[in-house]
Chain A
């Protein structure tokens, strides 16, 4: 929703600025205005960005001095079954949670966009999970999914009392469920905003043509959500590269590495095995994946729009 608005306003602005003379003399305030922001961004974002690359070529156990060891860590990490496993798990988590959330979000968003009052009210309730910290959500679901005193016992349904987080076959999917619980409200809200922007006239025309609800959904609503779909997917996919809190509190990567995603592997290597060099290699891998995904999705989707938005500064 927000994005659609920015996009629209962005377009408006460009049309006005186009009317201004190109040789407009005024140069505005000093660049020093940007200094404090650049300082913070430089020290806590750019320096660490370079730093993680440098540290990936060093040995550091958190106690003794840092020493260079060339490609040693990279050799070790690229042959480490834990890292390969983490990449695999991360991809599964990313793809499955995207595939599960997107259709639900589109449907829920469309539903919430309806004019009926109660739907808006449901929207208000859907939003509540967003107020919880991941830690709070993780603790809650850890208890709820407990086979001994969790929700399985509440309904007396045997399969529900399964040891979801303790079974390596189901732990990752249990986490995807909790991730969905957290984030579906947000993404639905975005689709709701997008659906509301679809011109009513399009539906009216379709109704006159005798198209039913289902057909209208597929022939009008879905195509109109294309742009939201692309940006929302980017957000979801890049976001899922960095789920840490939820997984850390719920399973700490277990059982048996079943949920040991890349950020967790990095943390455990760095702060449990005190292999900061190896952990930095994993950090660089996460960075590379994140940038690659952003670039690819940006190319595939509204790359022009995004570019122009950046250029427009």
Chain B
């Protein structure tokens, strides 16, 4: 009968189509671009200017190792953070995994996403890198993350010309002075403090410094240890109240919530003479020069975060990022991992990298480079200032969003933003954050 033949043909076609589609997808889909196959390694790096010296090492490496090429792909900071975890979770991550230390590294280690580098790189890291920066790469005494790039504490940047115009002679050393300066700058028609609120994480620098200056380093230690109600510490409440005091004083202007750090909106505001202060990481030094060279040379000032009268904290304490770190992905092929390890061996703060970093305005967290720093100084004293600040720091708190587990870090960013927007009170902030510790 007609029907049976017809059915056969139809069945045949249907099976072919269904099967073909699936086959096609698996055949074509088997080589995700991120995964390294065979020899050579892949790496994702950031596209900001401070990475140029690191990028050069890849170029150099590829010249010398035609059979062990490293393929570099660049991301914007926020885009990178958004992608890297999915990539690693799916086994498609790069061979060399960039991080800022903190909870992501802890997670990678506990899920065995990254390999133990102790036997290959322990001696290099221990002998070269400043202890406080090196320590962040270890978990249970084993090395998983090798420092790379410059040290990145947050410091108080100033526009000396703007300060002068407003009748301020020097950067504030106390909280009360800061408040007075804010009033003066406002009267002079300036935005007192430039703040990239749109990026949210710049809020953390204010919180971390204030909590430390008021209550000392133990407050954050309790929080990081997950102690019950650790966020209700009086120092936290006072720090949040002080933030709102600044907001009430109009210290951040009206458009800070939509300025983002990736857009360099905050640094541009300072460099173009529209703001007096900017609390930001040292990595923006190069940006200042590229936005307004004469400002960077003549009017750019830098200072420690002021102390709070009666506070327990020590003004030498720093917060911010320590450095960046490389880990080696366990999902990469054996040869890719070998390439990555041998790259790290020869490129962890080699002399040429230290030089390159210094010349681009970054301070390498390397022991005993006082002389190199002196000779690289561009006359502003910036490099020396940062190097000494890091060496003298009584404690160094890693950026809280990195140090805390990611869900808590996101909750902190979220609640802190609401403190700045005055949508919640300091007490509500503490309550909301305590919940994340449960």
* B5 → chain A closest CB, angstroms: 12
User: Is there contact, CB below 8 Å, between B257 and A255?
Assistant: yes
User: Is there contact, CB below 8 Å, between A163 and B258?
Assistant: yes
Tell yes or no: B290 within 8 A of A by CB: no
User: Is there contact, CB below 8 Å, between B406 and A273?
Assistant: yes
Task: Determine the main DSSP class of B at the interface with A.
Answer: helix
Query: Interface size class for chain A?
Result: 20 to 34
B82's partner among A148, A167, A257, A272 (CB-CB below 8 A) is: A272
A274 and B258 alpha carbons, distance in the complex (Å)? 25
Task: Determine the main DSSP class of A at the interface with B.
Answer: loop
- Residues of B near A268 (CB, < 8 A) are 410
Given A166-B198, A255-B197, A256-B417, also A273-B7 (CB < 8 A): no
A166 and B423 alpha carbons, distance in the complex (Å)? 14
Tell yes or no: A227 within 8 A of B by CB: no
Chain A, residue nearest B8 (CB): A30
* B423 → chain A closest CB, angstroms: 5
A147 and B255 alpha carbons, distance in the complex (Å)? 7
Tell yes or no: B170 within 8 A of A by CB: no
A255 and B407 alpha carbons, distance in the complex (Å)? 19
User: Is there contact, CB below 8 Å, between B421 and A256?
Assistant: yes
Tell yes or no: B108 within 8 A of A by CB: yes
* B387 → chain A closest CB, angstroms: 34
The stretch among A60-68, A129-137, A229-237 that forms the contact with chain B is A60-68
Tell yes or no: A165 within 8 A of B by CB: yes
- Residues of B near A147 (CB, < 8 A) are 254-255, 258
A256 and B21 alpha carbons, distance in the complex (Å)? 45
Given A32-B14, A35-B18, A256-B418, also A271-B82 (CB < 8 A): yes
Tell yes or no: B200 within 8 A of A by CB: yes
Q: Mark A256-273, 1 if CB is under 8 A from B, else 0.
A: 110000000000100111
* A26 → chain B closest CB, angstroms: 10
* B185 → chain A closest CB, angstroms: 18
User: Is there contact, CB below 8 Å, between B108 and A63?
Assistant: yes
User: Is there contact, CB below 8 Å, between A30 and B254?
Assistant: no
Q: Mark B86-105, 1 if CB is under 8 A from A, else 0.
A: 10110000000000000000
User: Is there contact, CB below 8 Å, between B406 and A168?
Assistant: no
- Residues of A near B15 (CB, < 8 A) are 32
- Residues of A near B22 (CB, < 8 A) are 39
- Residues of A near B407 (CB, < 8 A) are 273-275
- Residues of B near A61 (CB, < 8 A) are 107, 406
User: Is there contact, CB below 8 Å, between A148 and B10?
Assistant: no
* B46 → chain A closest CB, angstroms: 18
- Residues of B near A148 (CB, < 8 A) are 255
- Residues of B near A30 (CB, < 8 A) are 6-7, 10-11, 14
A35's partner among B14, B255, B414 (CB-CB below 8 A) is: B14
Given A63-B88, A272-B406, also A82-B14 (CB < 8 A): no
* B80 → chain A closest CB, angstroms: 13
Tell yes or no: A245 within 8 A of B by CB: no
Chain A, residue nearest B81 (CB): A272
Q: Mark A162-188, 1 if CB is under 8 A from B, else 0.
A: 010111100000000000000000000
User: Is there contact, CB below 8 Å, between B198 and A254?
Assistant: yes
Tell yes or no: A212 within 8 A of B by CB: no
A273 and B409 alpha carbons, distance in the complex (Å)? 8
- Residues of A near B82 (CB, < 8 A) are 271-272
Q: Can you list 26 A-B contacts (CB < 8 A)?
A: A30-B14, A35-B14, A36-B17, A36-B21, A39-B21, A63-B89, A63-B111, A64-B110, A146-B258, A148-B255, A163-B257, A165-B258, A166-B198, A166-B255, A166-B256, A168-B421, A254-B198, A256-B417, A256-B420, A256-B423, A257-B414, A257-B417, A257-B423, A268-B410, A271-B85, A274-B407
The 10 closest A-B CB pairs, nearest first, are A166-B258, A166-B257, A32-B14, A255-B257, A256-B421, A273-B410, A273-B407, A62-B89, A30-B10, A63-B111
A residues near B, CB below 8 A? 29-30, 32-33, 35-36, 39-40, 61-64, 81-82, 146-148, 163, 165-168, 254-257, 268, 271-275
Known: A63-B107, A165-B258, A272-B406. 13 other contacts (CB 8 A): A35-B14, A63-B89, A63-B113, A82-B414, A146-B258, A147-B255, A163-B255, A163-B257, A166-B258, A167-B257, A254-B198, A256-B421, A257-B414
